[in-house]
Structure formats: C-alpha cells, structure tokens
Amino acid sequence: GAGVSQTPSNKVTEKGKYVELRCDPISGHTALYWYRQSLGQGPEFLIYFQGTGAADDSGLPNDRFFAVRPEGSVSTLKIQRTERGDSAVYLCASSPWGGSGNTIYFGEGSWLTVV
C-alpha cells in the first residue's frame, strides 16, 4: 500500500480482555517497528522485526505483550489480560530494509482504551 496501515483505528475493551492490533507496512519494507505512545509522552519502542523474526523485543513491557510477523509483511501485536495502564496509542512503522541508515514511516496508530 501507499502508507503504513493500522487496524483498528480505535478499540475500547474491558479490563482483562485480549486484544489484537494489526499493522500492514509499506509494500516491500522488510523492517517493521511497534511503538507505544501515552498521553503527553513521546513514542516508546516496543519491538523491531527484520523479516519474520523479532530482532529486538527489549521494549515489550511484560509477558502479556507479544507480536508476530509470520510472513514478513503484516504484523500483529497481541495483548493478553489487558490492564487500564495499557491504554495508549500503538504506533506501527516500517522502513525499506533493516539496519542503520533508514528513514522510518509511521502509520496513524491504533488508539486503545481499556475500561
């Protein structure tokens, strides 16, 4: 596609429920990133994929968070047993190739509210 596409754009869920957020990167981009942005803060790194593998998942806050990219294109961020503190905008980004020297391009984000 022309840009990074994220779905859903908005999600309201009850505490304790399971949530999946989807990211469709720019066509041909091999690197994919997930970030989380809380109100009034800058985006915080969660995980980086190079192809199908998670090259760096050091930003995932705990084991309730998990992300996959099985075919090296679309990625899904999965959150189990959601908590109110998980409420944030989840941003996906992609870049042409892995490694240094890349411009990264962001989607419009998925706004998650846990009530």
Partner 1 sequence: GIQVEQSPPDLILQEGANSTLRCNFSDSVNNLQWFHQNPWGQLINLFYIPSGTKQNGRLSATTVATERYSLLYISSSQTTDSGVYFCAVEWRGTYKYIFGTGTRLKVLA
Positions that interact with partner 1 (CB under 8 A): 31, 33, 35, 41-45, 48, 50, 55-56, 59, 89, 91, 98-106, 108-109, 111
Residue 14 or 87 having the CB closest to partner 1: 87
Picking from 88, 81, 110, 101, the residue whose alpha carbon sits closest to that of residue 4 is: 110
Q: How far is the CB of 49 from partner 1 (least distance, A)?
A: 10
Q: How many residues does the chain have?
A: 115
Taking the complex as a whole, the smallest distance from the CB of residue 74 to partner 1 amounts, in Å, to 20
Q: Could you tell me the CA-to-CA distances from 99 to 3, 10, 43, 48, 85 in Å, in that order?
A: 20, 31, 20, 11, 32
Residue placing its CB nearer to partner 1 in the complex, 33 or 82: 33
Q: How far is the CB of 41 from partner 1 (least distance, A)?
A: 8
Nearer to partner 1, 62 or 100 (CB): 100
Give yes or no for a contact between 110 and 21, defined as CB atoms under 8 angstroms apart: yes
* Residue from 64, 96, 87 nearest 77 by CA: 64
